[in-house]
Amino acid sequence: MQLISKTICAALGVLALFTFGASASAQSTASDALQAVIDDHWAWSLEENPTFATSLGVRDYDDRLGSVSLDAAEKSVAKEAGFIARLEEINVDELAPGERVNYKLLLLGLKNDAAAAQFGGKYLVMTNRNGPHTFVTGLPERLPFFTRADFESYVARLGDIPRYLSEATDTLGAGVTAGWTQPCAPMEGVEQSIRFHVVDNVADSVFMKPFKTKPATVTMRNWKRMKSRAQETVAQKVVPAIRQYADFYAQDYAPACRKDVGALALPNGDAYYAHRVRVFTTTGKTPDEIHQLGLSEVARIRAAMMDIIKEVDFGGDFDAFQNFLRTDPQFYAKTPDELIAATSVIAKKADGALPRLFTRLPRMPYTVKPVPDDIAEGTTTAYYERPAGDGSRAGVYRINTSLLDQRPLFELEALSLHEAVPGHHFQIALSQELTLPNFRKFGGFTAFTEGWGLYAESLGLDAGFYEDPYSNFGRLSYEMWRACRLVVDTGMHSKGWSKEQAVAFMADNTALSLHNIEAEVNRYITWPGQALAYKIGELKMQELRQRASAALGADFDLRRFHDALLENGAVPLSVLEENIDAWIAAEKG
């Protein structure tokens, strides 16, 4: 109105100006309200996840580990309900287009959490792959160790481990009472992975790893003092707490495990699994639709695998070729160092191929390390650990060097492209550099992140990989593996399949070693729905690539298409499709 008073204009002009001013004011009000929720939600998220906050350079909560108590879970539900209420008070029509996306994604994430709270997932704080014990034993790898304050805060966190494990014990125990426990079959060996850290000599403890080398920034006097405190804390608090946690697991939790492997055996298990399917795929597909899609993909990929068997002139059928790949020594490393070296060569070759696939590359590097010994034999063949948001720690591509006769070399190219670059490391490191709200930089949707990882495997065909037919068969076997996930995950959790049925289906259709198949099926049992994200996301990305290529013809630039896929972070597949359609339209001019 101040602007109007300074302008001489006709009545129509005054009306137009007043309308514009009111609209701008409303947009500002809605925008400010949204930003306030985003800021408050992020601040709360860091307080709830103090070690994650440390990795971002936020040091306000360095003396604590967070909480896994049921009381904390209930308070989180209430807090998120408050954020939902605040968001729903905002007039979305008054937001700018980019703000509407932020609004939509934050609200979706919060509502997914609210829906999950209706079930008993809060009791399942442990799977066969990780849990409270792996969280605390991973602290030496995840926290920064540069200054005296870093070591001081680490020692304080060591002192918080007994409280943390006690809360985990109470939550898991409540799960036993409520009928929400993990199945027996996949949890074999978990007790040993816990007791691995019950050591007699403190010097052998993984918790003392940060004190092996003194940084120049710490005086010798302070170093000795902190190391002595750490030794005392580990000996008198940490190791006893881990022993008590292991005893609880062996005496109370393991005997109460479920005999049936599927989610149907849980209270209201069918609705729980349907919810998990929606969250992990970001689609409205039913378990049965996904099951049928998986069977179709299995048939398609199997035909392509048969073509390679003919190409190498094997002379036997599919089963015989599978057995050949699983048993011939030429396909396996002899030592852990040999496997790490082979992996590293592939990773470096992939680094060099990136400019052929993208115009924008992330700055953060990654490294290759073995999976820790305490979990190696019971976990999968590899995984990725994201870099610290403050740049203090690189990304880590973990390769499993246990049971070498179960880790075929012909899978390494596909595996490395998935876990490192152009797969998980590339996408996640780049996301952390984007101009996006923090909840999008450091969060996201599994269908995108794992869909991208599987899509990245296929990019080896564009970048000079898979020239050896056995490696190309490994690529197809990995794609088949993800197609089988659609079948066996839905089979076990919605159709009553046994673990043996799932293992047999994967053994019949992939070249994965039997040990890897066992580990994978165990993972699907304890993590319902997550395995569906890979193929669902990858198929959407392949569909969008074909759509863009057909629409743009000779003007299609694969590098710019990949930039467009990644430039908004890990979004739901419906949002990704909207983004790519808009990009295609813009490219057409």
Q: What is the average per-residue pLDDT within 410-415?
A: 98
Identify whether 265 is part of a domain: no
Task: Flag whether 307 is in a domain.
Answer: yes
User: What letter represents residue 464's amino acid?
Assistant: G
Q: What is the mean pLDDT of residues 171-182?
A: 97
Mean pLDDT of 404-414: 96
568 lies in a domain? Answer: no
Give the end of a domain, one of 121, 156, 186.
121
Q: Enumerate residues 6+ apart whose C-beta is below 8 A from 319.
A: 508
> CB-based contacts of 65: which residues, under 8 Å, 6+ apart?
50, 51, 135, 136, 157, 160, 161, 163, 164
Confidence of residue 26 (pLDDT cuts 50, 70, 90): low
Tell me, rounded to whole angstroms, the distance of Cα 105 from its chain centroid. 17
Give residue 277's pLDDT band: very low, low, confident or very high (50, 70, 90).
Answer: very high
* Mean pLDDT, residues 392-410: 96
CA distances in angstroms from 4 to 12, 21, 26, 283, 506, listed in the order given: 12, 9, 17, 49, 72
Averaged confidence pLDDT in the chain: 94
Give, rounded to a whole angstrom, the gap between the first and last alpha carbons of the chain. 39
Residue 273 has pLDDT above 80, yes or no: yes
* Residue position matching structure tokens 């007699």: 200
Encode pLDDT of 423-467 as tens digits.
Answer: 999 999 999 999 999 999 999 999 999 999 999 999 999 999 999
Residue 21 in this model has a pLDDT that exceeds 80: no
Mean pLDDT for 139-156 is: 96
Does residue 20 have a pLDDT over 50?
no
Q: Indicate the burial class of 553 (C-beta count within 10 angstroms; 0-12, 13-18, 19 or more).
A: exposed
Under DSSP, is residue 405 helix (H, G, I), strand (E, B) or coil?
helix
DSSP reduced 3-state for 399: strand
| pLDDT at res. 23 | 52
Is residue 62 situated within a structural domain? no
Mean pLDDT of 485-513: 96
Phi, psi of 559 (to 5 degrees): -65, -45
On the question of pLDDT at 523 being above 50, the answer is yes
| Predicted pLDDT at 439 | 97
Q: Do 237 and 183 belong to one domain?
A: yes
Percent of the chain with pLDDT over 90: 93
pLDDT in tens, 310-362: 999 999 999 999 999 999 999 999 999 999 999 999 999 999 999 999 999 99
Among 259, 283, 299, the domain-final residue is: 259
**Distance between CA 137 and CA 238 in Å, rounded?**
10
Q: Are both 384 and 458 inside the same structural domain?
A: yes
**What pLDDT band is residue 13 in, cutting at 50, 70 and 90?**
very low
* Structural domain contains residue 367: yes
- My answer on whether 514 and 532 are in the same domain is yes
Q: Which amino acid is at 194?
A: I
Query: Average of pLDDT values for 260-271?
Result: 97
* In a domain? residue 459: yes
Residues 233-261: tens digit of each pLDDT: 999 999 999 999 999 999 999 999 999 99
Q: What confidence score (pLDDT) does residue 378 get?
A: 84
Whether 56 is covered by a domain: the verdict is: no
Task: Decide if 579 is inside a domain.
Answer: no
So what's the pLDDT on residue 129? 87
Is pLDDT above 90 for 363?
Answer: yes
Neighbour-count burial of 1, counting CB atoms closer than 10 A to its CB (0-12 exposed, 13-18 middle, 19+ buried): exposed
State whether 106 and 169 are in the same domain.
no
As given in the structure block, the two tokens for residue 46 are 């860091």
Predicted confidence band of residue 17 (pLDDT cuts 50, 70, 90)? very low
Question: Comparing 5 with 29, which gets the higher pLDDT?
Answer: 29
What's the mean pLDDT in 471-497? Answer: 97
Last residue of a domain, one of 259, 280, 300: 259
Phi/psi of residue 9, nearest 5 degrees: -155, 170
Residue ranges with strand state E in 351-436: 366-370, 382-385, 395-399
pLDDT at res. 27? 55
Domain that holds residue 298: 271-540
DSSP 553: G
Same domain, 309 and 370: yes
Residues 108 and 211 in one domain: no
Is the pLDDT assigned to residue 292 strictly greater than 60?
yes
Task: Let me know whether 245 and 312 are in one domain.
Answer: no
Strand-pair category, 382-385 with 395-399: antiparallel
Q: Band of the pLDDT at 379, cuts 50, 70, 90?
A: confident
> Rounded to whole angstroms, what are the CA distances from 514 to 115, 232, 506, 510?
36, 44, 9, 10
- Read off the pLDDT band of 4 (50, 70, 90): very low
Domain count, the chain: 3
Residues 74 and 148 in one domain: no
Question: pLDDT of 549-589, one tens digit each?
Answer: 999 999 999 999 999 999 999 999 999 999 999 999 999 98
Does 103 share its domain with 133?
Answer: no
- Are 77 and 154 members of one domain? no
Residue 236: partners with Cβ closer than 8 Å, 6 or more residues away? none
Predicted structure pTM score: 0.92
- 466 and 409 within one domain: yes
Q: Give me the mean pLDDT over the 83-111 stretch.
A: 97
Helices (H), 49-69: 50-55
Residues 81 and 111: their CA atoms lie apart, in Å, by 8
Same domain, 195 and 140: yes
